Amino acid sequence: MSEGRTRAPMKGCPSAAGKAGRRDIGRTAGRGSTRRSRLRVVAPRPRGRKRRLPFLVISFVLVGALVFGVVSLQAVISQSAFRMQRLEQRSTQLRQSYGDLKLQVAELSSPERIVHEARRLGMQLPDPSKLQTLAVAGIPRDTTVTRASDSPSFALKRQLGDAP
Amino acid sequence: MALLVTLLLAMAAIVVRLTFLQVKDASAFEALAHNQRVRTIALPPSRGTIFDRNGDELAMSLPAKAVYADPHLVRDPAAEAPIVAQALGLDEAKVQAQLGGAGGFVYIAHGVDAKLAAKLEARKLRGIGFLDESRRYYPADSLAPQVLGFVGLDGTGLAGLELQYQSLLAGRAGRQVVEEDPTGILIPQAAGSDQPPVPGDDLLLTIDRDIQYRAQQALISAVKANHAKGGTVIVLNPHTGEILAMASYPWFDPNHFAQADPRAVTNRAVTDAYEPGSVNKVITASAALEEHILKLNTRLMVPDHYQLYTKTFHDAEPHPTERMTIGDIIAYSSNIGAIMTAHLLGTDRFASYLYRFGLAHRTGIDFPGESAGILPPVAQWSGTSMGTIPIGQGIAVTPLQMACVYATIANGGVWVQPRLVQGTVGPDGRIIESPAPEARRVISDQTAGEVARLLGYGVDVGTGVQAQIPGYWVAGKTGTARKVNAKGTGYSNNYVASFIGFTPASRPEFVVAAVIDEPATVFGGIAAAPLFRDVARFALARLRIPPAAPLAIPPHAVRIG
């Protein structure tokens, strides 16, 4: 059995192999260094730090972007909600104004007010005895009384009335 | 060692408390926190608008605020009262008393204009709060107030159509659940749920605003001219049963219904029954012609008085025994002629026509509190009932019931159920027409035409001459009846005068019933016929109704007086 022969480290047992290696190296260096010069002790490579940095950077960027996105989204949502509230308030105010104006129109167009205004302007109802009824030959047209559903003014009022 | 034990005991106490808070009482605390930050806002529905037949608003609602106070939170009633009172136009002393009261909640004002309330709210007065509600407005003030009715402070219909169609007009309240921060500012995006309010349906009436106004003006003039207690006018389309106008004087302003005289609130056209008097003779004449008991040219020997059991009936004016046609009897409103005609018919046949024309039955108009009138069952008629009922005494009818009798004549013998509502308008703006009114034939078209001729003759030469309208033929009948005394034991010295008719007589477009309560001049032809004329003349112009063919004068025999 040759003395310079080294034992291969056990597969899957690096520490055992390392210790055996270091013992063999010591012995080899004392007895024949030229022959065993290929074996040397090397410092462990700083592999962890180099690989973790890009991971941290990417993670930081991703998380940062995510947080920024969520916060921005929340801000936009909140902003929109506040804007919505303001618009709703404005809508309520406008509806109120529309209702007030509608009431005003109804009051101003009431028969009593029209008669009052007409009198103020010097108008008066005609004397019935001075009214003449003319007899006209022919068949009178249909004089069916009007219905609101047929009235264009009512249709318009409905449209306006339904406006929010 | 002691320190360790103390620490362990403290830790144990904390763990136990935490267990209670986080496990046992967790739901209670969660609910407490929820209640602190979550608030439910009631969203009142918008009450439906009431339109006339042309789409003009007669009643409408606008958002308003109720202002309340929590006296426990009011620090200085004397300082806050002037601000509140001035803003709301209230009595300062009264407001101060409310703010300084012992209760925990008190309403300061209802139906406050939203803008006014917003200004007061901006003052941030401690203990003063605001609630959403709506306020009902009647823009034409005292126009058809008894028909429209009014709503209470809580927005519930209390009278008239507001009451009749409460469920339809009211809509359904909604609610909004919101989260607030401790200062009361809404938290956006917080958990909440909305249930929007459902607005009430709109009502589309058959009333024509202009005819209604004119009818009311004519009515108040007639009441004043006759120094009367009140009166009623109805304008009715005999073909459709649509009421174009319905007014009773005295009336009230529904915007201030709390100040109204209770007598003025009643829609007497529908709810009050009165003895119709001679206007009821039209039923007697119709029944006789329909049953071929008489023809238009049949002549009866009519004295000026008639003995029936213990009672003697008289004509209004003394006259020798005269030959009279049914045309004469109606034209000159002969009581004796009407009683004789009813006797020719017989009790049962005569009574059956009273019922067929709708007496003793509610018309079924869409209005609350309608009276059916009074018509005793035939089995309860006394020996003199065949003397009183043919001339419209001993029974009671509403003005609407009697207007429907004349509408039946005007509509070719077909009775049509009257109505006040043409249709409803849903939130989608679609008009839903009311169902077709009930209609039934009472007399033949031919009989109706003959009766119209009798009524036209009555206006041409008889008691109704004051109802004449130049250029148009009017058909109608006067009525004068004594009122029952307050005890209901006999007659008083007060009268009800009426005139009910239609025009153009040969092609009727509308019926007008004019009733004057306790006029100084008791005769219907003098007190009520001019009221008919004024209302009918306006309605003819308003509805653009041209004159129609003249009526054929019925056979007649005499002219009295």
Residue ranges covered by each domain of chain B: 209-542
Q: Is residue A116 part of a domain?
A: yes
Put simply, the answer to whether B472 touches A133 (Cβ < 8 Å) is: yes
Entry pTM: 0.81
Q: How many contacts does A have with B, using Cβ atoms within 8 A?
A: 113
Q: Decide if B236 contacts B513 (C-beta within 8 A).
A: yes
Cis-peptide into B504, omega within 30 deg: yes
Put simply, the answer to whether A153 touches B244 (Cβ < 8 Å) is: no
Q: Is residue A161 part of a domain?
A: no
Residues from chain B that touch A143, judged by Cβ atoms under 8 A, are 509, 543-546
How many beta carbons lie within 10 A of that of residue B542, not counting itself? Answer: 15
Question: Rounded to whole angstroms, how far apart are CA atoms B262 and B146?
Answer: 11
The region of weakest confidence among B35-39, B137-141, B533-537 is B35-39
Domain count, chain A: 1
Residues from chain B that touch A151, judged by Cβ atoms under 8 A, are 54-55
Q: Decide if B324 contacts B337 (C-beta within 8 A).
A: yes
Asked whether the predicted pLDDT for residue B249 surpasses 70, the reply is yes
Q: Decide if B502 contacts B449 (C-beta within 8 A).
A: no
Residues from chain B that touch A100, judged by Cβ atoms under 8 A, are 62
Q: Decide if B478 contacts B461 (C-beta within 8 A).
A: no
Chain segment B454-497, per-residue pLDDT in tens? 999 999 998 999 999 988 999 999 999 888 887 877 888 899 99
Q: Decide if B341 contacts B324 (C-beta within 8 A).
A: no
Looking at this protein, which amino acid is placed at residue B98?
Answer: Q
Chain segment B172-222, per-residue pLDDT in tens? 988 888 777 776 666 765 656 688 889 999 999 999 999 999 999 999 999
Pick from A81, A109, A153: which is nearest to B189 by CB?
Answer: A81
Residues from chain B that touch A74, judged by Cβ atoms under 8 A, are 189
Residue B307 DSSP SS3: strand
Q: Decide if B405 contacts B282 (C-beta within 8 A).
A: yes
Residue B186 DSSP SS3: strand
DSSP for B217-239, please give it: HHHHHHHHHTT-SEEEEEEE-TT
Chain segment B274-302, per-residue pLDDT in tens? 999 999 999 999 999 999 999 999 999 99
B384 burial via Cβ count (<10 Å: 0-12, 13-18, 19+): middle
Q: Decide if B215 contacts B535 (C-beta within 8 A).
A: yes
Asked whether the predicted pLDDT for residue A129 surpasses 80, the reply is no
Whole-complex ipTM? 0.80
Chain segment A30-89, per-residue pLDDT in tens? 454 455 567 777 777 666 666 788 888 999 999 999 999 999 998 998 888 888 888 988
B284 burial via Cβ count (<10 Å: 0-12, 13-18, 19+): buried
φ/ψ (deg, to 5) at B232: -140, 140
Choice among B248, B278, B286, B498 that is catalytic: B278
Pick from B188, B214, B547: which is nearest to A78 by CB?
Answer: B188
Q: Does A26 touch chain B (CB under 8 A)?
A: no
Q: Is residue A2 part of a domain?
A: no
Question: Rounded to whole angstroms, how far apart are CA atoms B121 and B118?
Answer: 5
Q: Decide if B462 contacts B333 (C-beta within 8 A).
A: yes
Q: Is residue A81 part of a domain?
A: yes
- Structure confidence at residue B559 as a pLDDT band (50, 70, 90): low
Q: If contacts are CB pairs under 8 Å, which of residues 100-129 in chain A contact chain B?
A: 100, 102-103, 106-107, 109-112, 115, 128
Residues from chain B that touch A137, judged by Cβ atoms under 8 A, are none
Cβ within 8 Å of residue B397, ≥6 positions away: B273, B274, B276, B280, B359, B373
Q: Is residue A19 part of a domain?
A: no
Is B193 marked active-site? no
Query: Which of B441, B290, B294 shows the shortest CA–CA distance to B357?
Result: B441
Nearest CA in chain A to B138: A107
Please compute the mean of the pLDDT values over residues B155-178 and round it to a whole number.
Answer: 91
Question: Rounded to whole angstroms, how far apart are CA atoms B282 and B456?
Answer: 12
Asked whether the predicted pLDDT for residue A148 surpasses 80, the reply is no
- Structure confidence at residue B418 as a pLDDT band (50, 70, 90): very high
Q: Could you give the count of Cα atoms lying within 13 Å of B373 in the half-sphere of its Cβ?
A: 28
Q: Decide if B513 contacts B233 (C-beta within 8 A).
A: yes
**Class level of CATH domain B209-542:** alpha beta
Q: What percent of chain B lies above the pLDDT cut of 70?
A: 98
Question: Rounded to whole angstroms, how far apart are CA atoms A26 and B518?
Answer: 143
Cis-peptide into A128, omega within 30 deg: no
Q: Which domain holds residue A53?
A: 44-123
Nearest CA in chain A to B542: A145
Structure tokens at B505: 């007589």
Question: Rounded to whole angstroms, how far apart are CA atoms B302 and A73?
Answer: 100
φ/ψ (deg, to 5) at A111: -55, -40
Question: Rounded to whole angstroms, how far apart are CA atoms B132 and B173?
Answer: 11
Chain segment B110-125, per-residue pLDDT in tens? 888 888 888 898 888 8
Question: Rounded to whole angstroms, how far apart are CA atoms B8 and B14?
Answer: 10
Asked whether the predicted pLDDT for residue A125 surpasses 60, the reply is yes
Chain segment B503-514, per-residue pLDDT in tens? 999 999 999 999
Question: Rounded to whole angstroms, how far apart are CA atoms B163 and B420?
Answer: 13
Put simply, the answer to whether A132 touches B471 (Cβ < 8 Å) is: yes
Q: Is residue A5 part of a domain?
A: no
Please compute the mean of the pLDDT values over residues B154-164 and round it to a whole number.
Answer: 93
Asked whether the predicted pLDDT for residue B48 surpasses 80, the reply is yes
**What pLDDT sits at residue B303?**
94
Q: CA distances (Å), B306 to each of B114, B283, B288, B334, B375, in order? A: 71, 20, 19, 11, 23
